[in-house]
Chains A and B, each alone.
Chain A
Amino acid sequence: MLTKDFIRLTGTSLLAHKLRSFLTMLGISIGITAVVLLTSIGEGLYKFVLSEFTQFGTTLVGINPGKVTTFGMSMGVFGSVRPLTISDAEALKQLSFAKSVVPLVQGNAEVEGNGRTRRTTVYGVGSAFPETFSMKVGAGRFLPDDDPTAPRAFVVLGYKVKQELFANTNPLGQRVRIGGDRYRVIGTMEAKGQVLGFDLDDTVYIPAARGLDLFNRDSLMEIDILYKEGTNVDRVVAGIKRILKSRHGRDDVTITTQEQMLKVLGSILNVLTFAVGAIGSISLLVGGIGIITIMTISVNERTTEIGLLRALGAKQTQVLSLFLGEAIVLSAIGGAVGLLLGVGLAQLLHAMLPALPVHTPWTFVMFAEGLAITIGLVAGVLPARRAARLDPVEALRAE
């Protein structure tokens, strides 16, 4: 049989039952729509979270005091850990691959200035903070590279704090009180927005040593190192370990590389995308059962036609492929419509809720269509085989 005729014969039998064919396709369409829509949202979320994390660059390494054991609990809770100090941070600066090293301590405190008070997040950091975390100074400058153990009482205000306390007046040179100590404002940050729910603008930055005093701590919460791009991450980790081990006497810190985080995060988000895709697949399965049902009915109704085709010299394989063809056409068209609907709905959702990230990769689209066709194939096999195996004499007699 010529391909053209095959398509024509398949088409006419589907068109002979327009409503039935339409409804069967609809079943598959809804399934594919669900799969595409859900995976688009999942994938959008994936991209969103990943971009949130990588906005600080991928060559960032975080060092936290205490060893995270396989139980995921920091030994730090038992207090048997050497604190991570500012001099540790200074020592790490000698690493050849370290572009910048930032000690970090964080807490909440009241900031008082221009006659107003605001409770905000206070970061005790080093002078390399802006370059390490890709933050930009708006006006003035960031904390200077003072003696890290006895820095001057300077403060840099986050965008929101500056707005709240000083509104439109120039805060540079003004005095503010943080936890009872007086600081001079030497700079303000550009607006940054929220990252994973943290408002990076509702912050003030003071030198790390002063932060430790303010929060009455003897250990930093974290030391962040930005290493030169192209450096092997294992070398970075080994270098950090070597220095801290020689200083602390043992390996009592947790080193988290951005690469590791992305890997873990990526696999979690992939599972999430896969899970929502699987939920969508349930409706696809139902659509597939719809095809089996309709094709079985179709074979029953057209028994005499099958007998006739055999009498006219149709081979069993020809009968098989005709019915299989119908099932595949139903699922392929249904799938294509579902794709359009799914992508369209995803875009519509994104237009209505811009906060909801949506992303439809082409590989998913191809995969979804392939899945639809496969479902048609699998669903069509049983009825088509029944059609092909009918005894022509019996089939012709059926009426």
Chain B
Amino acid sequence: MIKLEKIHRNFQVGDQIVHALDDINIIINDGEYVSVMGPSGSGKSTLLNLLGLLDQPSSGKYYLNGGDVTELDEDRQASTRNKNIGFVFQVFHLIPRLTAAENIELPLVLAGVDEEIRKQRVNHALESMNLMERAQHKPPQLSGGQRQRVAIARATIMEPSVLLADEPTGNLDQKAGLNVIETLEQLNQHGITLIVVTHDEALGARSTRSIRMLDGRIESDNTDNKAG
């Protein structure tokens, strides 16, 4: 479960203070499918970075699975990211000199997991992402959709509770994008909390809960998106 309490995030730009997040209070339950929408500069990326522990709030509390993670030191936050949070980026962020399998393996490597176990889990992930025959290919040899599926496999290899996707279809054509979204939704159906940041109305409409942001505030939080 994710719980944000009175979260503020201020940036100093020149001599002006910008309130990227202004008193955000949200509770996201396990297994929810949330889309975060809003115009550029509305604070949705900042919110995502904060949820992913890549960024710290200026004030306020962030509870992840019951624990206050704002209090953790750098190393603990890193290991929380490693175990509990998966990231999917618009530009994939695969390491070009590593094969698909090695890219997927990275979080396990960083966590110091044994090679045998790693192999099993990577194979399993490749299989479920339909990437088995692409395992030894390097990112430049893969299509956009395949790359994003490698990225999703990497994001989920540690079996995190939360999957954060930042414009996951932004660099893909419609068909590949749809495939990626369906993959993410499948993971959500298996219990992962899926939070998608997007500009795309159609994509946003697929979620069960839609949060709309404007100027660092939550403009609307539509819990039953599909019905509404």
Q: Which residues does A use to contact B, with CB under 8 Å?
A: 1-2, 4-5, 9, 12-13, 15-16, 304-305, 307-318, 392-393, 396, 399
Q: Which residues of A contact B93 (CB under 8 A)?
A: 304-305, 307-308, 311, 396
Chain A nearest CB from B112 CB (Å) reads 5
Chain B nearest CB from A8 CB (Å) reads 9
Contact digits for B101-145, partner A, Cβ 8 Å, 1 yes 0 no: 000001101111011000000000000000000000000000000
B55 near A: Cβ within 8 Å?
yes
Q: Which residues of B contact A308 (CB under 8 A)?
A: 93, 95
B52 near A: Cβ within 8 Å?
yes
B75 near A: Cβ within 8 Å?
yes
Q: Is the CB of A314 within 8 A of B110?
A: yes
Q: Which residues of B contact A313 (CB under 8 A)?
A: 78-83, 107, 110-111, 158
Measured in the bound complex, the distance between the Cα atoms of B112 and A392 in whole Å is 21
Q: Is the CB of A2 within 8 A of B98?
A: no
Measured in the bound complex, the distance between the Cα atoms of B106 and A309 in whole Å is 8
Measured in the bound complex, the distance between the Cα atoms of B140 and A16 in whole Å is 14
Q: Which residues of A contact B114 (CB under 8 A)?
A: 2
B91 near A: Cβ within 8 Å?
yes
Q: Which residues of A contact B89 (CB under 8 A)?
A: 396
Extra 14 A-B pairs, beta carbons < 8 Å, given A310-B54, A313-B110, A316-B75: A1-B110, A1-B112, A2-B112, A2-B114, A307-B93, A308-B93, A309-B106, A311-B52, A311-B54, A312-B154, A313-B79, A316-B78, A393-B54, A396-B54
Q: Is the CB of A312 within 8 A of B52?
A: no
Give me 16 A-to-B residue pairs in the complex whose CB atoms sit less than 8 angstroms apart, sorted by A's number. A2-B112, A12-B98, A307-B93, A308-B93, A309-B106, A310-B78, A311-B81, A311-B93, A312-B82, A312-B87, A312-B154, A313-B80, A315-B74, A392-B54, A393-B49, A393-B55
Q: How many residues of B contact A (CB 8 A)?
A: 29
Chain B nearest CB from A325 CB (Å) reads 14
Measured in the bound complex, the distance between the Cα atoms of B53 and A392 in whole Å is 10
Q: Which residues of B contact A310 (CB under 8 A)?
A: 54, 78, 81
Measured in the bound complex, the distance between the Cα atoms of B87 and A313 in whole Å is 10
Chain A nearest CB from B141 CB (Å) reads 15
Chain A nearest CB from B131 CB (Å) reads 18
Measured in the bound complex, the distance between the Cα atoms of B49 and A392 in whole Å is 9
Q: Is the CB of B112 within 8 A of A311?
A: no
Measured in the bound complex, the distance between the Cα atoms of B111 and A304 in whole Å is 20
Measured in the bound complex, the distance between the Cα atoms of B55 and A304 in whole Å is 16
Given A13-B97, A393-B55, A318–B110 Cβ distance below 8 Å?
yes
